[in-house]
Chains A and B, each alone.
Chain A
Amino acid sequence: MSSASRSRSGGVPLDRRVAVALSIAGASLFVLPIAGLLIRAPWSRAGDVVSDPVTFDALRLSLVVSFAALILSFLIAIPLSWLLARNEFPGRALLRGLVAVPMVLPPVVGGVALLEAFGRRGLVGGLLDDAGVILSLSTAGATVAAAFVAAPFLVFALEAGYGAVDRRLEEAAATLGARPGRIFRTITFPALRPAIVAGGALCWARAFGEFGATITFAGNLQGRTQTMPLAVFQMLQNDPGAAVVMAVLPLVVSIGLLVLVRRRLVIG
């Protein structure tokens, strides 16, 4: 009898108290830095920092680059995730492994790799040059760097999403005369939506916070490649107080997005 009531509460009472204590200790790892940022920021200088064109450029560029990277990631992830989730072919495991590489690679190394491929002296840099596409020291380059590190999150989220799509519903639609395009639009896509929202949020957040690959591949040029993290990093070396105030901005933007998609993330 007593053992049944204990198991209903998820374990013996002592266990739960220990778990709560450990959780609070663990959560402080996330909460304290944010509190530190908010408490220690020299708020009297907020006006100067916000009106500084460097800040404005960086914030604008961060939004442009992160959303452009999100779009680029969708262009990559939609066909790739379909290929991985719905097709049997030799080398599928290898392809999946290759897609995962940017997730485990130190971003700076990723930036170096991007230089060797798409830089002016890179493998295909010359071809891109001839086509008029210049990635190094350009906003396009910063976008590519952000998508390089962020797209795999979307690919894997969508691939997992396909696993949650009921194939039998697609078959039912086919017997009712729906062509593949209509099946995708009316059956597959609605079932994929939670994965699209969750994966998209994760992908955008990774792109928004991207630092290493961007600074290595695209450089640190105000108004062209200097996104918020790069600007904060540079400011930290010249004017640490202003850097702390500046750092609050991306924090607000990130938390804003999190609140916006929170319900979807929980449901998805």
Chain B
Amino acid sequence: MTSLRARVELDAESFHLSGRLDVDGRRTVALLGPNGSGKTTFVRSLAGLIDVPDGKIEVDGLSWLDRPGGVDLPPQQRSVGVVFQDLSLFPHMSAAANVAYGLRSRGASRHGSERAAIAWLARFGSEHLAGRLARSLSGGEAQKVALARALILEPRLLLLDEPLASLDVESRADARHFLASALRDFEGVKIIVTHDPVEAFALADGLAIMEAGRIVQVGAPSEIGLRPRSRYAARVAGVNLLRGTLSERDGISILTAGDAEIVVLAEGVPPGDEVFATFPANAVTLSSGRPHGSARNVFPVTVGRVESEGGRARVALRGRVPMTAEVTTRSVDELGVRTGTEMWAAIKATEIQVYPA
């Protein structure tokens, strides 16, 4: 049974890393988080490239790390394949020699490893690259060589650190497609580090959200989309997130977040609890004057950044309840929505999802 159980505690340069991640089966988990949140540090610790003073790593029931005291296998003895952010191909060797390197390091014959390497390159349609020096490969070519190099030893754990970051925008979509199909065939646990939600949703069947050195939420993409537990996860899912306390007044549920009170429908969540509340950006209605409609949640706001794309605009709003609204570009023009404009924002109570924090 393929599995990874990892708990890692270490002090990095600017933060304390505290990561816990359990993966069962041949799944692909995307480790998603903003730049500098500790994603790379976490996967480097799994590969044994960083000293971990406190933690446990177990892969397929085999202990790689158990500290303090006990086990700490060096990278050479961990069955791990790594595709590094800059790919880190050996520039002075041919593509085939790069792919064969792992087998050669484990004592295989030059001839046999070379043949196996070319077979792996052929699997990715890249056997014609075999004799080329790694430093002369294009980004897309190098990516395939790097993946073949990491997979040839059939590791139990495959780590990909921003595998598409070194590619230009045009080749990225092709490379993402190739990567998705290559990963499907691989038997072990796969972890992909990325800060790009599109990449995460395309390549992974599980998400782990990392923020400020902590893995804050793990789950299926749909689950994180419905119930994000951090501002970053909410932004990834494209919804607004509030955190506050629930209370009841005259049979109406009220969420108190900061100094704002918001009317919500809280079915099954008892009052007095710390809760999260989400509402999609397109559930926010903007108007110039105070609206008189049925929406009870009406707040004065100041328009921040406005980003239009394909007939829709995302409008950042500042106020007692900071949020993002998604409206048509037509209403942006009609209402005169511009940075600095004072407006009113309304949210329908029925659009707000509430769940325990």
Contact = CB atoms under 8 A, between A and B. Distances in A.
Contact of A171 (B75, B92, B106, B153): B75
Nearest to A177: B105
Given A168-B84, A182-B105, A175 B90 contact: no
A139 to B, nearest CB: 39
B49 interface: yes
B182 to A, nearest CB: 18
Interface in B75-97: 75-76, 78, 80-82, 84, 86, 88, 90-92
A90 B166 CA distance: 38
Given A171-B49, A171-B75, A176 B102 contact: yes
A172 interface: yes
Interface in A175-223: 175-179, 182, 186-187, 190-191
Given A171-B49, A174-B49, A174-B76, A179 B92 contact: no
Contacts, number: 53
B92 A173 contact: no
A177 B153 contact: yes
A172 B150 CA distance: 9
Contacts of A182: 105
B73 to A, nearest CB: 11
Interface residues of A, number: 17
Contacts of B102: 176-177
A169 interface: yes
Contact of A169 (B75, B80, B90): B90
Interface in A9-55: none
Interface string A230-249: 00000000000000000000
Given A175-B49, A178-B101, A166 B76 contact: no
Contacts of B101: 173, 176, 178, 186
Contacts of B81: 175
B74 interface: yes
Nearest to A174: B75
A173 B84 contact: no
Nearest to B77: A177
A173 B105 CA distance: 9
Contact of A175 (B80, B91, B106): B80
A172 B82 contact: yes
Contacts of A175: 47-49, 75-76, 78, 80-82
B144 interface: no
A169 B78 CA distance: 17
Interface string B40-73: 0000000111000000000000000000000000
Contact of B106 (A166, A172, A177, A190): A177
A223 to B, nearest CB: 45
Given A171-B75, A187-B90, A176 B153 contact: yes
A168 B88 CA distance: 7
Which of A172, A176, A182, A186 gathers the greatest number of chain B CB atoms within 10 Å?
Answer: A176
Nearest to B159: A175
Contacts of A178: 76, 101, 105
Nearest to B76: A177
Interface in A140-181: 166, 168-169, 171-179
A176 B146 CA distance: 11
Nearest to A187: B90
Contacts of B78: 175
A179 to B, nearest CB: 6
Nearest to B106: A177
Nearest to A191: B92
B26 interface: no
Contacts of B214: none
A182 B78 CA distance: 17
A174 B88 CA distance: 12
B149 interface: yes
B92 A190 contact: yes
B105 A179 contact: yes
**Residue with the greatest number of chain A CB neighbours at <10 A, chosen from B74, B75, B106:** B75
Nearest to B152: A176
Contacts of A176: 101-102, 105, 149, 153
A171 B88 contact: yes
B86 A168 contact: yes
Interface core residue of B82, B84, B101, B149 (most chain A CB under 10 Å): B101
A264 to B, nearest CB: 15
B133 to A, nearest CB: 12
Interface string B246-271: 00000000000000000000000000
Contacts of B105: 173, 176-179, 182
Nearest to B149: A176
Contacts of A169: 88, 90-91
Contacts of B88: 166, 168-169, 171-172
Nearest to A179: B76
Interface string B332-347: 0000000000000000
A4 B93 CA distance: 42
Given A174-B76, A179-B105, A186-B90, 6 more contacts: A169-B91, A171-B88, A172-B84, A172-B88, A173-B105, A176-B153
Across chains A and B, which 8 residue pairs bring their CB atoms closest together, nearest first? A176-B102, A177-B105, A178-B105, A172-B88, A174-B75, A175-B82, A175-B75, A168-B88
Interface of B: 47-49, 74-76, 78, 80-82, 84, 86, 88, 90-92, 101-102, 105-106, 149, 153
16 contacts: A168-B88, A169-B91, A171-B75, A171-B88, A172-B90, A175-B75, A175-B76, A175-B78, A175-B81, A176-B101, A177-B102, A177-B105, A178-B101, A182-B105, A190-B92, A191-B92
